[in-house]
Structure 1
Amino acid sequence: MLASVLVEPGQVEVRRRPVPQPARDDVLVEVSVVGVCGSDAHYFRHGRIGEYVVTAPIVLGHEAAGRIVAVGDDVPKSRIGERVSIEPQRPDPASSETRRGLYNLCPHLQFYATPPVDGALCEFVTIQSAFAHAVPDGMSDDSAALLEPLSVGIAAVRKAGIEAGAHVLIAGAGPVGLVTAAVARAFGATRIVMSDPDPARRARATEFGATETIDPTTDSVRELAVDSFIDASGAPRAVVDGMFAVRPAGTVVLVGMGADEVSLPLSLLQNRELVLQGVFRYANTWPLAIELATSGAVDLDSMVTARFGLEEVAKALEADRIPGNIKAVVDVRRGGQS
């Protein structure tokens, strides 16, 4: 098969690799579309994210969809031909975290495109059968792939405890921030404030559920008085300003990955009895993600603003620098022209 391989930071090559063989409880998926995540671009440019370091050639990409073309011995053959969205993680079923339903926190978790595990920017991948989620015929391949970032938004909104009538501030109008706004709206939030310094991104935010937008470089964030704050930017200033915007007993949820260490106003955290939550990927989100996408509550197709072939992955990984771009996808089935 053909695979786009990150050879070293800044260099990707299309190489031939053996088609992987499914284990007993695996399925083999012919990949259709892969979304490009900020983490992919970070590995491409820097070769590492925190403790995860690229030390050998690796295939990037973890937002993926495709069709099952073969199954392991323990999987019903009736699944062959099924269109699926891939939940790109393989936890250890024996770990205490997995047994408690927190499989995203499994210390032995293997996650697509996290060194040394290969991702989905290739023609075929294997995944445990339970993590290949069947999607309706009416769902596009783009949407099926983007159920992955939608799942991050679902995890964040659940952590924030958003319910009907809630007021929420979301920092960062990138793909995760936008889907988080859409999920917050679906959960019943009536005031959704989106903060981003980019006017083009702020304009898009209203399409995804934001009831108002602000420029954090000129507007007062700290005076907003919201029930919860979700940071999808990773910017230290945004994190601190957002904490000040939360009412007493509110919730702060950190999704964006930025600096490893940030100085936080601990006296504010204590005096207001704020709840500070981290989000690490997701667990048990795909069924709801499928419902939100198929019901029209979240329009994932409208997020796609750039499309590339497998031979153009280097361009796709730089697409976040294109003004106005929201989400680039790679159509693995084609190459050559953007």
Structure 2
Amino acid sequence: MTASAQTISPDLLDWYDRNARALPWRSPPGAPPPEPYRVWLSEVMLQQTTTAAVAPYFAEFTRRWPSVEALAAAPEADVMAAWAGLGYYSRARNLVATARIIAEREAFPDTEEALRELPGVGAYIAAAVAAIAFGQRAVVVDANVERVVSRLFALGYPLPGVRKAIREKADAITPHARAGDFAQAMMDLGATICTPREPRCLLCPLAEDCDARAGGDPARYPVKAPKKAKPQRTGTAWWIEREGAVWLVCRPAKGMLGGMRALPDDGWSARVDGSRKPPLAGDWERAGTVRHSFTHFDLDLEVQVFRAAEPQMAGDGEWWPLDEIDSAGLPTVFAKAAQRAQA
């Protein structure tokens, strides 16, 4: 029972025509393709992030910046603040850089090769934009597609080594016609039917072609390598307050949470604990500890508070009104620290 393009694509597209998810960045089956800007923006946002989490951000971004030209003209600080909470902040910096390149060229690249030259656009996003926005045949492989393909062909060796085989099999079943719809159908199948746990095989349009289902245990695919334990780091965030305002700094453009407004901290990173050295001498009060999980490490961040009439601050920063702290666009870990400081 080996899946093939002749059996897979017609059955899957028929299913998609009846069951396609209604998403704000999509066109329904059979309709003209969505604008490349909307496809690209959504795919950047959807990296490592759920559809439910992305939807309100996508709506706000397209309200404020309805075109790639509008986004290109936006101050980077405004875009970074609007991105706060989505994580993986290098995506937002690359978003602005890419928008400016496209606006300068006055045309959106329409091939995978040209798209790959843009900042932050890898193989997946380039293929997705080429297929969905421009109707080109492209092999689009995200986590949902990986799962579907690994089950269709019962690919029994673990990630990440199996990814080359997954891509080859995905290429073999990708049709030339309706490439964008096929890519989105594969994503929808993985998101709604071929789910990580307890796949709904009785509802699957590809059940008869699925080697994993024939083997009796589709949920074991894709096979995952044992997880490595994350390192645990500790650090300190410094809340410095005066006359209804708090001192915020801008993190370096490169590195973790680059370019974001934040509370001063003691230099913690994925590799080292913080120094616990405060930015100024004074009577600091401990406000508690917040915990945050990053991709590669977990962090226990102690929050220390200092309130004074005229604290002498060194270095670049700004006094941000406390009653407008929600509009500062703090990354999640520092938003947690701000809540703890004000509790």
TM range (shorter): under 0.3
TM-score for the superposition, normalised by structure 2: 0.23
TM-score for the superposition, normalised by structure 1: 0.23
Q: Which has the higher helix share?
A: 2
Q: Which has the higher strand share?
A: 1
